Amino acid sequence: MQEVNLDDFHKIILKALFLDGESTIYEIEKKWGLSHSTVHKKTHELLKMGLLEVKEEKPFRTGLNLKRFGLTDKGFFEALKNMNFEDKLVADKLDELAEQNPPPHPLLPLWPFFREIRAQNFFKLMLVNFEVALPHLLISLLQQEETPFPFEQGEFKPIKILSEEQQKSLLEKIKKNEDLYQKILTKIELNIKNYEVELRNLKKIKELLLGA
């Protein structure tokens, strides 16, 4: 995915729409303490970047149209990349999204588990790099092996190897969504065909999780 250059105001607006859902410029400026001119300018820059879209537009009493803005799929991804998952507001919103069916990101059903073991920002790194990271993550956690995580961005900080009870809990959460993870693993296999180590790990995971 092509990188976009975001300033602090862009990031606040993405976070606002992530947490609050579809909003008008007025609602964003009032709740987040920003000036009207800043929100107006930055919202339209985000529209041009393809990170926002107009979700609703209706006539207002002034004769202008009142617009409600929301995140595009690309904007949702950028919002995730630029937030601290240890922030309680963000974490609580992720709890809510993890319960959606289907989830807005295929790995979100695992979020409550990583919040419980206090590995929130590790989960963030996995979320935004998941195709390459997931095989390493699962084989490391489930087979007590330490393997390198080739993240293309961000610093990787290892978490503690899981206890047997935690491994069992993670497996149970994955198996509850077995069809979803079968699709994820199949997609990953197509996208990492040139990564020898990852493919070996992926084969082990499929055997471990799905009996494939």
Q: What is the pLDDT along the chain (212 residues), one digit of tens a residue?
A: 456 789 999 999 999 999 999 999 999 999 999 999 999 999 999 999 999 999 988 877 666 778 899 999 889 988 988 999 989 999 999 999 988 877 777 678 778 878 887 878 778 877 776 655 565 556 555 554 444 443 333 444 444 455 667 667 766 766 666 666 666 666 666 655 655 655 666 666 666 655 54
Classify residue 54: in a domain, yes or no: yes
Classify residue 2: in a domain, yes or no: no
Helix residue spans in the chain (DSSP H) = 8-20, 25-32, 36-49, 73-81, 88-98, 111-116, 120-128, 130-142, 164-176, 178-191, 196-210
Classify residue 1: in a domain, yes or no: no
* Domain membership of residue 166 as a residue range: 84-210
Total domain count, the chain:
2
Entry pTM: 0.66
Give the domain CATH number at 72.
Answer: 1.10.10.10
Classify residue 3: in a domain, yes or no: no
Beta pairing, strands 52-59 & 65-71: antiparallel
